[in-house]
Amino acid sequence: MGARAAQRALEDADVSPTDIDLILYWSFVADSETPNDGTRIAMEIGASQAACIAAEMGLSATSLALICMASSFIESGTFDRVLVVTVANWANRAFEKGTDIGPVGDGAGALVLSRGVERSLLGMKHVREPRYIDVISASSSLATGRPEYLTANKVADFDKFAAQAPVLFLNDFLNEHQISPEDLTWFLPHQTTDRMCRHWGESLGFHENQLLTTFHEHGTLAAASIPIVLDHFRREVPVVNEGDTLLLFAAGAGFNMIAMLWRL
């Protein structure tokens, strides 16, 4: 899936695989630990000049962390063109057979980031709440010597925290940049549930038409969610256009929260 998503992103950006300098990659259940799957994807798509880095920032939050890393590499002059690939192959692999896992799906998303005349990343913020570090966890099978599956651990007050903390975090983030929901074109949160996404948007003052999700089509796709939703609203339902300003938000295991302001 990752190679197909990467190839599609390159075609959409009209970029040759040999022009990619770096591949940043994440998958919850990798096909290969060493070499990492990013290296295998580079070989499959013909990105012969690309360095490959596999990263992990707590499931859903990883996509935004990788985009921020890519932007930093580009702005520093280290790399000119970076391919970000996120693969959610967890619905069939990450849970023990027979487990009721709800609306989760498998999929892959990819983005190409290149040096531009103007800065596109307008702001980014990342916080971690250590009280909930083990709310979602999976041990390393290499360390334990046996297959390990994702587990969701019951933690007191976490449901209340998940509803309230992102709103406070995003509100502070927007205030720091002196931006209101009216100044933004779209709000694109990681789609934990449709109800939660709408709660965050309404609490922040976004109009329901500013919220972009594909939860009813795809379910929860971990770190692949945001690239896939962006592709959906750029290609299949083309409402996201050049010049639009997006607020991206993801929360993931760790417990990490990442927000990003991005101008296309």
* CATH number for the domain harbouring residue 213: 3.40.47.10
Residues 184, 233 share a domain: yes
Residue 117: pLDDT over 70: no
Which residue, 99, 117, 135, sits at the end of a domain?
117
Give the CA distances from residue 249 to residues 25, 57, 82, 211, 224, in Å, rounded to whole numbers and listed in that order: 19, 14, 21, 12, 13
Residues 192, 96 share a domain: no
Among 30-34, 141-145, 182-186, 227-231, name the most confident range: 182-186
Residues 243, 150 share a domain: yes
Report pLDDT digits (tens) over 34-43.
788 889 999 9
pLDDT score of 147: 66
Residue 13: pLDDT over 80: yes
Residues 126, 94 share a domain: no
Residues 184, 102 share a domain: no
20: containing domain: 2-117
Residue 23: pLDDT over 70: yes
Domains identified in the chain, total number: 2
Report pLDDT digits (tens) over 37-80.
889 999 999 999 999 998 877 778 888 889 989 999 998 999 99
Under 8 Å between Cβ of 112 and 7: no
Mean pLDDT of 236-254: 91
Residues 86, 195 share a domain: no
pLDDT score of 90: 73
Residues 177, 192 share a domain: yes
Residues 132, 92 share a domain: no
pLDDT score of 42: 94
Question: Measured between alpha carbons, how far is 238 from 210 in angstroms, rounded to an integer?
Answer: 14
